[in-house]
């Protein structure tokens, strides 16, 4: 029987970043609400940094945004400038030390705080460079690629932070959408491929940057534009100024449209909701089924199910009820709950599905555990037939750019045909939307998209097998210290990094 984690979290999200420059506003609360809108992008940890021009205060903790922050904490974080981060660990363990924003003091005075969405692929090279420069690990013991970026930005004693960014960012390989700040200026930058989204917005008293337009909406910001691939934006009292650190080579993530982004977000001018409905229509055209009812696997399958029903003429209905309060849990489930599996998250409406031939629309299949349990549950509830339709092509290859997919060996579509997967999950039929159909629905040209998880064609170089993975930095540092498995000698925990800049541990 698969574990509860295997059933509930087949796909690790990534991270969400938010930044605001707005004198006279309560920037801590604006950041809180922005992070709340980005909670779906990471549920392991949340944090923010706030500056009043003289000092930068960072607060972070494991847990959801609403668990980490309360009125009392937000009330102590006063200033005109803030950044925030919600984390899902794609590099480094899920620990307090790896929560973001990362924090560094600057040799020129003041401090740097940084939040990162994405994943670098030259992590080992950057770690070697950090050691050669003698800036070492974060004093808090972080083991993620985001801290390497912060260390490199803070290493240059002869330039401003803005100039350090222009020198450092071209040396990063992989996916990165960054927000970072010193005491006076907010910065945002996006890798040359623009793999992860990043947008600029305007509020009455200032400017906002965020991973998704939905976070701009929640704070009442007007969308200005996307931050371009290879662009860095600096925002201060003179407003935004833009410069380039690399030529744009757009390769936006196609899976953002499938699952990662909120449906009320727009990417490259295209509504994610509209894309998902269109994918459902395409799926109905490509893979029709004789059925009585179309039902979604909520919530990510809902727009595609609506599109499938519209195109096919089969009635749409709600056949599954989702427990809205099931998210990441830090309580180990009992064996009884493990046996119940997916029922903790979804439950069928028996009166709706009994005796019906169902089309069940889901967003993706990774290991197949969720769909296997779901098909079994619907049959037990009395469904006459269960036809599974998936609004993405088969996921055959892992992502190295910020999504915590299973390894290739765990991806069911990497070794089984569609017919074999259908038999494995126990469905009456199974079909996936075509890659061309999904691409067309996104309204993006294929050569401007990263589709590597469906094709194995990686647009950014991927390192050797022993230099990739969530825990690569931890392994490299154990090797460098001669410690085969224990703690690194510089893992001392401190509560302040000097001067007027304070790092607060709850």
Mind telling me the catalytic residues? 15
Distance between CA 213 and CA 297 in Å, rounded? Answer: 25
The SS3 of residue 413 is: helix
**CB-count exposure of residue 323 (10 Å: 0-12, 13-18, 19+):** exposed
Residues 303, 348: Cα–Cα separation, whole Å: 19
Residues near 60 by Cβ (< 8 Å), separated by ≥ 6? 45, 46, 47, 48, 68, 85, 96, 99, 100, 101
Dist. CA 433–CA 286, nearest whole Å: 7
CA dist., res. 354 & res. 79, Å (int): 58
Torsion of CA 277, 281, 283, 286, to 10 degrees: -160
In sequence order, the 6+-apart residues with CB closer than 8 A to the CB of 139 are: 490, 492, 494, 497
How far is residue 288's CA from residue 342's CA, in Å, rounded to a whole number?
A: 27
Structure tokens at 339: 């046996």
Strand partners, 321: 347
- What is the C-alpha radius of gyration for the chain, rounded to an integer number of angstroms? 23
């Amino acid at each position: 029987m698969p574990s509860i984690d295997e059933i509930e979290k087949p796909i690790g999200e990534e991270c969400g970043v938010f930044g605001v420059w707005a004198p006279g506003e309560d920037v801590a609360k604006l950041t809180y609400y922005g992070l709340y809108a980005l909670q779906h992008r990471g549920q392991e940890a949340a944090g923010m940094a706030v500056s009043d021009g003289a000092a930068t205060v960072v607060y972070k903790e494991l847990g959801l945004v609403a668990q980490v922050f309360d009125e009392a904490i937000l009330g102590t974080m006063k200033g005109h400038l803030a950044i925030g981060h919600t984390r899902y660990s794609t590099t480094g363990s899920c620990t307090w030390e790896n929560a973001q924003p990362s924090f560094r003091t600057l040799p020129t005075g003041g401090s740097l705080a940084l939040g990162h969405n994405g994943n670098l692929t030259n992590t080992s090279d950057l770690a070697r460079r950090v050691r050669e420069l003698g800036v070492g690990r974060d004093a808090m013991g972080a083991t993620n690629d985001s801290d390497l970026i912060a260390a490199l930005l803070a290493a240059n004693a002869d330039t401003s932070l803005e100039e350090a960014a222009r020198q450092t960012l071209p040396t990063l390989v992989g996916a990165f959408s960054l927000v970072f700040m010193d005491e006076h200026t907010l910065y945002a930058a996006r890798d040359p491929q623009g793999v992860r989204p990043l947008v600029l917005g305007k509020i009455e008293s200032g400017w906002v940057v965020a991973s998704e337009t939905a976070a701009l909406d929640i704070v009442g910001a007007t969308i200005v534009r996307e931050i371009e691939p290879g662009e860095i934006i600096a925002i201060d009292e003179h407003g935004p100024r833009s410069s380039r650190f690399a030529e744009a080579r757009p390769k936006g993530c196609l899976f953002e449209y499938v699952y990662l982004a909120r449906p009320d977000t727009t990417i490259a001018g295209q509504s994610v909701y509209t894309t998902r409905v269109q994918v459902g229509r395409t799926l109905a055209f490509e893979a029709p089924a004789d059925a009585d009812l179309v039902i979604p696997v909520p919530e990510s399958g809902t727009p595609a199910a609506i599109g499938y029903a519209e195109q096919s003429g089969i009635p749409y209905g709600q056949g599954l009820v989702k427990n809205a309060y099931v998210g990441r849990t830090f309580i180990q489930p009992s064996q009884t709950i493990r046996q119940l599996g997916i029922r903790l998250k979804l439950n069928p409406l028996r009166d709706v599905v009994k005796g019906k031939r169902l089309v069940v629309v889901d967003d993706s299949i990774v290991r197949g555990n969720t769909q296997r349990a779901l098909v079994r549950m619907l049959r037990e509830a009395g469904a006459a037939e269960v036809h599974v339709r998936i609004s993405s092509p088969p996921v055959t290859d892992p992502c190295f750019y910020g999504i915590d997919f299973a390894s290739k060996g765990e991806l069911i579509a990497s070794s089984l045909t569609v017919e074999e997967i259908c038999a494995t999950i126990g469905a009456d039929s199974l079909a996936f939307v075509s890659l061309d159909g999904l691409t067309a629905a996104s309204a993006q040209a294929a050569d401007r998209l990263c589709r590597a998880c469906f094709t194995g064609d990686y647009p950014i170089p991927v390192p050797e097998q022993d230099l990739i993975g969530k825990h690569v930095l931890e392994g490299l540092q154990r090797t460098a210290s001669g410690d085969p498995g224990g703690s690194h000698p510089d893992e001392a925990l401190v509560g302040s990094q000097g001067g007027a800049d304070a790092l607060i541990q709850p």
